[in-house]
Structure 1
Amino acid sequence: MIGSQALVASRHYNDSMIAYSTSITSYNPSMQPWELSIPVSDISAEYVNEQMIIFGVLVPLGNQTSFNHVW
């Protein structure tokens, strides 16, 4: 969805994983690494039992009390 920010992951040909944050700015997004408006640290991913799992730690939001998310 345009305007969304995302954590994405992919598996390389040698089975190593890459995970990063990106911003969806069009219907044909570049999927380039992008800093999110909500700080997320320790982004990583693993592929286990044919499932890709993405991890990330939300940094405290300060004065912000809520945020919207898309699955």
Structure 2
Amino acid sequence: MTQEQPNQTSKLPPALAMDAPHILVVDDDERLRKLLQRYLSENGYRVTMAGTAAEAESRLRSLTFDLLVL
């Protein structure tokens, strides 16, 4: 009986794929933003962060997002 070797490409983080859902995280707490960024990125999402409403508005005008987390 032979064992199949796992596909090496499956070990790449899904967040590297350009078709991954894109999430904008807006929060004035930098530690919370970084925590959410790490968690979401590790689970296959592309993440952009903003620390203020003005930053969020700027990002919303220049990029397309699938979800906004406030």
Using the size of structure 2 for normalisation, the TM-score is: 0.25
Q: Give the structure with the larger helix fraction.
A: 2
| Rg larger in structure | 2
Using the size of structure 1 for normalisation, the TM-score is: 0.25
Higher relative contact order (CA 8 A, sep 6+): 2
